[in-house]
Amino acid sequence: MLNLRLRDIILSIDDVEASLHSRVATLLRLEKERLHDFKVVRRAVDARRKSQIRRVYTVEFSLTDDDFLRRHGNCKGKLEEVKPIVVPQPLTARRSKTATVVGMGPAGLFAALHLARCGLHVILLEQGEPLEKRVKDVLSFWNGGTLLGHSNVQFGEGGAGTFSDGKLTTRVNHPWSRLILQTLVDFGAPHEILIEARPHIGTDLLRQVLLRFRQELERLGVVIRFRSRCSELMLRQKRVVGVRLPNGEELCADYLLFAPGHSARASYAMLAASGVAMERKPFAMGCESSILRP
């Protein structure tokens, strides 16, 4: 069976999506019935010309004809084989090791999930509060209450985007992005986020997804510790062997994954003081070519 993906199929705003299957069959000069498991995997709206708003689709389907691509070409580069997504797994010998993940934003959450699914013992540290308490702290602040340093719009379960409207923006075009979205769907996000060019969850649903995320981590045996700030790295011969909390508690770890987000200045100061090498992200800037002309 040959799994194929076809990009840039255009429908006018008046065409019905159900016509896609026949449209693709006609494009490929095949009977519709030969396109198995036909599904839309991406949908975008092209509104650059107001008089001609169009929808642009990517679809996937299977053919029993394994040789189809070689014999019929790739439709100007728009037709390609769908390859299975392979995510690297830790070596078997490392599976019984302990990994400490610092930070419960998206980066830390997904790292903890993947490592736990691979069989590592995972400890997940978050300086802030669990979602339920964090929401109360933020609402209290917005209503004139005190700003808590450890529990606010930036810090706590879910990380910095928890009080956003849940736009799932990533400028990374990587096959694993789909696995991230699929995981969110598994935890209750709408199936549409797998398809829409600008996926969006919404604040309320995002919080429910986060709670299911936590339940799954706990089911996998991840030890989640809130109000647990990593305040110091434990070093032995310049190797990290664990972390220290403000009350002096030491947590040894075979691996440490630090996912503090971009606002935890105290954490960056601590890393710098521990001698961790850091560098700024590269900076990209757009500019009109006419400005560059002499």
Ligand X SMILES: Cc1cc2nc3c(=O)[nH]c(=O)nc-3n(C[C@H](O)[C@H](O)[C@H](O)COP(=O)(O)OP(=O)(O)OC[C@H]3O[C@@H](n4cnc5c(N)ncnc54)[C@H](O)[C@@H]3O)c2cc1C
| Interacting residue ranges for ligand X, rule: CB under 6 A | 102-108, 125-128, 153-156, 159-161, 163-169, 229-230, 259-261, 263-264, 267
CA-to-CA distance for 265 and 228, rounded, in angstroms?
16
Smallest gap, in angstroms, from Cβ of residue 8 to ligand X? 25
CA-to-CA distance for 116 and 160, rounded, in angstroms?
23
Smallest gap, in angstroms, from Cβ of residue 9 to ligand X? 27
Smallest gap, in angstroms, from Cβ of residue 62 to ligand X? 33
CB 157 within 8 A of CB 130: yes
CA-to-CA distance for 160 and 108, rounded, in angstroms?
12
- Compare residues 9 and 124 and give the one whose CB is closer to ligand X: 124
CA-to-CA distance for 23 and 20, rounded, in angstroms?
5
Q: Which of 271, 245, 269 is nearest to 126 (CA)?
A: 245
- Compare residues 45 and 269 and give the one whose CB is closer to ligand X: 269
Smallest gap, in angstroms, from Cβ of residue 104 to ligand X? 5
- Compare residues 126 and 137 and give the one whose CB is closer to ligand X: 126
Smallest gap, in angstroms, from Cβ of residue 258 to ligand X? 8
- Compare residues 166 and 242 and give the one whose CB is closer to ligand X: 166
Smallest gap, in angstroms, from Cβ of residue 236 to ligand X? 20
Name the packing angle between helices 131-142 and 203-219 (round to 10°): 150
CA-to-CA distance for 58 and 194, rounded, in angstroms?
12
Q: Which of 36, 86, 84, 39 is nearest to 58 (CA)?
A: 39
- Compare residues 125 and 193 and give the one whose CB is closer to ligand X: 125
- Compare residues 91 and 172 and give the one whose CB is closer to ligand X: 172
